Amino acid sequence: MRYIEQIKSIVLLFLVLLSIVLTFSIWTYTPSLQVIEESQQVDQLVVGKKKELAEIIKPYRIIMREQNEWKGTIGSTTINDFVEMMTDWKFSDLIPVQNNMSDKKINEFIRANQRITLFFSEKVPVKVFHSIVPFSQDELPEMSFNKIILDWSKMNANKTLMVYFLSEESRTLYSTEVKMSDIYFQSTVLNTLKGLVAYQEIERSNGLSLYIPKDEIELVQYTYYIDEIHADTFRDILFYDPSIVRKNVENQDLVKYTDGMTLMTVDVKNRYLNYVNPSSESLVELPSSRLLLDSYEFVNEHGGFTGDYRLTSINNQKHVVEYQLYKQGFPVFSVDTTTRITTTWGENQLFRYKRPYFILDLDINSEKIQRKMTSGLQVIEFIQKNKQLQLDEVDDIILGYYLKPNDNDLLFTLEPSWFAVSQGSWKRITPEAIGGGNNGLE
């Protein structure tokens, strides 16, 4: 028994010591861990390439006044080069110059010699344009403009290009400056505009002047193969949980998708869709800068600018932003489908999204037809004689393309035409009418 007690004591002591050693080892143990790389995130579902803001917000026309003569752009080649050049500039502080400018004052301001004017389809918030061409000041006013006027009349004296931002809607004028040498201006700025054609100002007794190409112009009529983005792709992009969305084929021309709260209607015949989220509707007025950026970021996030889409309309009260399709540098209009992307913003999220789901993919070289367009002066003369359209009610007269279906369902034809634009809507002036015949408006 005496030995058994001793053995117990030795075993107990061993267990205590082992416990101490193990406890110490646990406290001081540092595991040798390998770094496990984070798994790549699932790629965002997109339908096209993402685009820079400068590709979406750009002028549709540039005119220049020098030695009492007008010149201007046809198409977008010169415009694209000019805007790209401007992105290397930096504006000084933005300074208010004048309020309550009359139509007469605006016309005279643009008409002054040694001035270049950039025309935008819609008012552009200066806070957003700051992302394209930066300003030196951090805090910019909540103002918008639809024209930029460059004045180089004093370039030689102070090596400064004066830049004016004009809002025809609010009748306000702001100014800023860009430092540059006369050599740079002559060799770069003016050289970019060397491809301009002759223009003419159409003065109106009660309104702003119109500016049109003076001579006949040749444009190409195109026929395009179209590609389509499957509606299921937009279902997966737009709905919170696509797995619970029900698809209902109403008939051969109409398909509906719904999750019980939101609805996407697909017009199969005319190739466009309309998504609505009623729960997010909001009537609170939003600043133009926030409304535009929210809209642009939403569409761009899924590569939704599936063509040359450009800002064409902002409605603050209704939270609506629209982007017009351009092709070969000209706007594309149609009565057979929509050629605009439209977003309506709600309570911190999208309320409505309407857009085409077709893409003008590839033009058929053998189907190209050269068309000689009548001069802008002939179009003005036609409008003055036409009783259905008053020249004083027209906001602008532009060249563009009229998109219409082809006999082949996979083809669209783009026919060059003149258009009269008024309060955001357009009317086509047919070539047959200008030469005599029907009333000529569509």
Tokens of 257: 């998708």
Nearest alpha carbon to residue 420 among 364, 366, 382, 365: 382
Task: State the pLDDT at residue 431.
Answer: 72
Give the helix ranges, DSSP H, for 333-404. 376-385
- Name residue 167's beta-bridge partners: 172
- Name residue 64's beta-bridge partners: 71, 116
How high does pLDDT run on average in the chain? 90
Classify 34 as helix, strand or coil.
Answer: coil
**Cβ atoms of 307 and 323 closer than 8 Å:** no
pTM across the whole model:
0.88
Q: What is the mean pLDDT of residues 293-313?
A: 97
Task: State the pLDDT at residue 288.
Answer: 93
Cα 290 from Cα 286, distance rounded (Å): 7
**Cβ atoms of 325 and 256 closer than 8 Å:** no
- The yes-or-no verdict on residue 40 having pLDDT over 50 is no
Higher pLDDT, 158 or 28: 158
Task: State the pLDDT at residue 33.
Answer: 43
Task: State the pLDDT at residue 38.
Answer: 42
Reported as a single tens digit per residue, the pLDDT across 163-215 is 999 999 999 999 999 999 999 999 999 999 999 999 999 999 889 999 999 99
Reported as a single tens digit per residue, the pLDDT across 95-119 is 999 999 999 999 999 999 999 999 9
Q: How confident is the model at residue 36 (pLDDT cuts 50, 70, 90)?
A: very low
Q: What is the mean pLDDT of residues 329-338?
A: 96
Strands 263-267 and 254-258: antiparallel
Higher pLDDT, 300 or 13: 300
Cα 171 from Cα 283, distance rounded (Å): 26
- Name residue 173's beta-bridge partners: 98, 166
**What phi and psi values does residue 17 have, to the nearest 5 degrees?**
-65, -40
Polymer length of the chain = 442
Cα 340 from Cα 296, distance rounded (Å): 14
- Name residue 230's beta-bridge partners: none
**Cβ atoms of 129 and 144 closer than 8 Å:** no
Task: State the pLDDT at residue 252.
Answer: 93
Cα 117 from Cα 187, distance rounded (Å): 19
Cβ neighbours for 369, distance < 8 A, ≥ 6 positions apart: 220, 221
Q: How far is CA 317 from the centre of its chain?
A: 19
